[in-house]
C-alpha cells in the first residue's frame, strides 16, 4: 500500500474539481482496510470512482481511502438464480460486461453507470426501469469504529429511490467490501419497456433481443444523451426527481399541461426534475466555469477550472427558481464533501 501526501483529487472525481487531501491510500483487501484504519488518526472519507461527489473545499486535512477491493466470483448456482460475489472496488460497468459475457441477466439495463460496485448500494443505483435492489442479495461491510465485518440483507439496507440506510442513519459508518447479487440464468426475461430501448431494437431490426442487445441499446442511448465526464466534468443527474402528492400534480398539470410525471406505488407522482429546470430557463446556461448541460438540464457541468462552491451556488439558484415557479423542492442526488 502506498500512502500519498498532499494528493490531488482532480482525476478522482468526475466533476474534475481540483482539490487536495492530506493523505490518500488505495486499499486492495479487507486486511489493508483494517491495517490502515487501526493506525489512522485523521478524519476519513471513503472514495469509490468519485462519480457522485462534489468537493466543496480546496484542501481536506483528511485520509481519503479509495476502495480497490477486486474479484468477481459465482458462489451459488441454482434454478432460483446465480449468486455472484463482487469486490467493492470493481468498476460497476466492468461487472455488467462480465455478467453479459457469462449470460447472466438482471443488470444489463444499468450498463455504463459510472463508479464502483461498493458504492452502488449507497444510493441504490438505477437506470432504464431497473434498480440495484431488484437483483440485490446482501452485502458485507466493515464497521469503521470496531473494524468488525457485518452482513446487511436487502431489508437492512432500507433501499429507496436513490437512497439507502447508508445515506441516512449509517452515513459514513461502514465501508462496503463485498456485494452479492442474484442474477438470472434465464436471460430471456428482459426489461425493455423503459425509455428508447424498444426504439433502438426497431431501428436495428432486432426481433429477439438478448441481454447483450439491451446493454448495447442502453450504452448507445446513454452516450447520445449524457456528457462524458472525460470530456466535460459532471456527476450525472445532480438532483433527484421529486415526488409530490397527486393533488399537487393535478393542479400543476392544469397550469402546465406538458409537465412530465409518473405515478408511483404510493399516492404520489414522481416529476421529471430535468423538465422543471428546463422550464425555469436553465438548460444550456453557463455561469463562469460551470453550467447546466445543453442537452440535459438535470446535469450540472464543470467546463474546466470550476470550483465545487461555484457548482453548489448554481445548484442553489436552480433550486430557488424551481421552488418559486412550481412550489417543488429539489434535493441533490450528489454527495457534498
Ligand X SMILES: Cc1cc2nc3c(=O)[nH]c(=O)nc-3n(C[C@H](O)[C@H](O)[C@H](O)COP(=O)(O)OP(=O)(O)OC[C@H]3O[C@@H](n4cnc5c(N)ncnc54)[C@H](O)[C@@H]3O)c2cc1C
Sign of the four-CA dihedral 122, 124, 126, 130 = positive
In the complex, minimum distance from the CB of residue 35 to ligand X, in angstroms, rounded to a whole number: 17
In the complex, minimum distance from the CB of residue 228 to ligand X, in angstroms, rounded to a whole number: 7
In the complex, minimum distance from the CB of residue 167 to ligand X, in angstroms, rounded to a whole number: 8
Neighbouring C-beta atoms of residue 186, cutoff 10 Å: 10
Q: Which is nearer to ligand X, 55 or 326 (CB)?
A: 55
For residue 127, CA distances in Å to 112, 161, 194, 249 come to 10, 11, 9, 24
Q: Which is nearer to ligand X, 284 or 327 (CB)?
A: 284
In the complex, minimum distance from the CB of residue 185 to ligand X, in angstroms, rounded to a whole number: 25
C-alpha count within 13 angstroms, C-beta hemisphere, residue 55: 29
Burial of 161 from C-beta contacts in 10 A (0-12 / 13-18 / 19+): middle
Residue 184 falls in the annotated catalytic set: no
Q: Which is nearer to ligand X, 84 or 252 (CB)?
A: 84
The set of cell numbers assigned to 226 is 449524457
Q: Of 244, 268, 241, whose CA–CA distance to 330 is shortest?
A: 241
Give the interface with ligand X as residue ranges (CB under 6 A).
14, 46-53, 67, 88, 113-116, 118-120, 122-123, 125-127, 174-176, 226, 229, 234-236, 335
In degrees, to the nearest 5, what angle opens at C-alpha 90 toward C-alphas 73 and 228? Answer: 140
In the complex, minimum distance from the CB of residue 116 to ligand X, in angstroms, rounded to a whole number: 4
Q: Is 121 left (phi over 0), alpha (psi -120 to 50) or beta?
A: alpha
Q: Which is nearer to ligand X, 121 or 249 (CB)?
A: 121
Residue 162 falls in the annotated catalytic set: yes
Q: Which is nearer to ligand X, 163 or 278 (CB)?
A: 163
Say which residues have a Cβ less than 8 Å from residue 320's Cβ, sequence separation at least 6. Answer: none
Q: Which of 111, 164, 215, 237 is catalytic?
A: 237
Residue 22 falls in the annotated catalytic set: no
Q: How far apart are the first and last CA of the chain?
A: 25
In the complex, minimum distance from the CB of residue 298 to ligand X, in angstroms, rounded to a whole number: 10
Neighbouring C-beta atoms of residue 204, cutoff 10 Å: 13
319 Cα distance to chain centroid = 21
- Say how far apart CA 135 and CA 154 lie, in whole Å: 10
In the complex, minimum distance from the CB of residue 144 to ligand X, in angstroms, rounded to a whole number: 9
Q: Which of 51, 162, 184, 215 is catalytic?
A: 162
Residues 150/321, Cβ–Cβ less than 8 Å:
no
Q: Of 96, 144, 98, whose CA–CA distance to 120 is shortest?
A: 96
Q: Which is nearer to ligand X, 51 or 241 (CB)?
A: 51
Q: Which is nearer to ligand X, 49 or 209 (CB)?
A: 49
Which residues are tagged catalytic? 162, 237, 333
Amino acid at each position: 500500500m502506498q500512502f500519498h501526501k498532499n494528493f490531488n483529487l482532480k482525476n478522482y472525481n468526475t466533476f474534475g474539481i481540483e482539490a487536495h487531501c492530506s493523505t490518500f491510500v488505495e486499499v486492495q483487501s479487507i486486511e489493508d482496510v483494517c491495517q490502515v484504519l487501526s493506525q489512522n488518526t485523521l478524519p476519513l472519507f471513503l472514495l469509490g470512482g468519485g462519480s457522485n461527489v462534489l468537493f466543496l473545499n480546496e484542501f481536506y486535512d483528511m485520509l481519503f481511502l479509495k476502495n480497490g477491493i477486486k474479484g468477481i466470483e459465482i458462489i451459488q448456482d441454482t434454478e432460483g438464480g446465480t449468486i455472484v460475489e463482487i469486490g467493492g472496488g470493481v468498476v460497476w460497468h466492468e461487472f455488467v460486461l462480465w455478467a453479459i459475457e457469462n449470460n447472466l441477466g438482471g443488470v444489463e439495463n444499468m450498463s455504463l453507470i459510472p463508479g464502483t460496485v461498493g458504492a452502488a448500494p449507497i444510493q441504490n443505483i438505477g437506470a432504464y426501469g431497473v434498480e440495484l435492489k431488484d437483483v440485490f442479495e446482501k452485502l458485507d461491510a466493515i464497521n469503521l469504529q470496531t473494524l468488525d465485518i457485518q452482513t446487511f440483507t436487502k431489508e437492512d439496507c432500507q433501499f429507496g429511490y436513490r437512497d439507502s440506510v447508508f445515506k441516512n442513519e449509517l452515513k459514513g459508518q461502514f465501508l462496503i467490501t463485498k456485494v452479492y447479487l442474484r442474477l438470472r440464468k434465464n436471460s430471456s426475461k428482459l426489461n425493455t419497456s423503459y425509455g428508447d430501448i424498444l426504439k433502438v431494437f426497431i431501428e436495428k431490426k432486432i426481433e429477439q433481443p438478448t441481454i447483450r442487445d439491451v446493454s448495447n441499446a442502453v450504452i448507445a442511448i446513454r452516450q447520445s444523451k449524457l456528457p462524458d465526464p472525460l470530456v466535460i466534468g459532471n456527476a450525472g443527474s445532480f438532483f433527484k426527481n421529486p415526488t409530490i402528492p397527486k393533488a399537487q400534480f393535478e393542479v400543476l398539470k392544469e397550469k402546465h399541461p406538458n409537465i412530465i410525471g409518473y405515478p408511483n406505488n404510493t399516492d404520489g407522482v414522481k416529476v421529471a426534475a430535468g423538465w422543471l429546470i428546463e422550464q425555469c430557463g436553465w438548460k444550456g446556461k453557463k455561469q463562469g466555469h460551470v453550467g447546466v448541460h445543453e442537452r440535459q438540464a438535470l446535469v450540472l457541468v464543470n467546463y474546466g477550472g470550476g470550483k465545487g462552491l461555484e457548482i453548489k451556488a448554481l445548484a442553489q439558484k436552480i433550486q430557488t427558481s424551481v421552488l418559486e415557479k412550481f412550489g417543488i423542492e429539489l434535493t441533490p442526488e450528489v454527495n457534498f464533501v
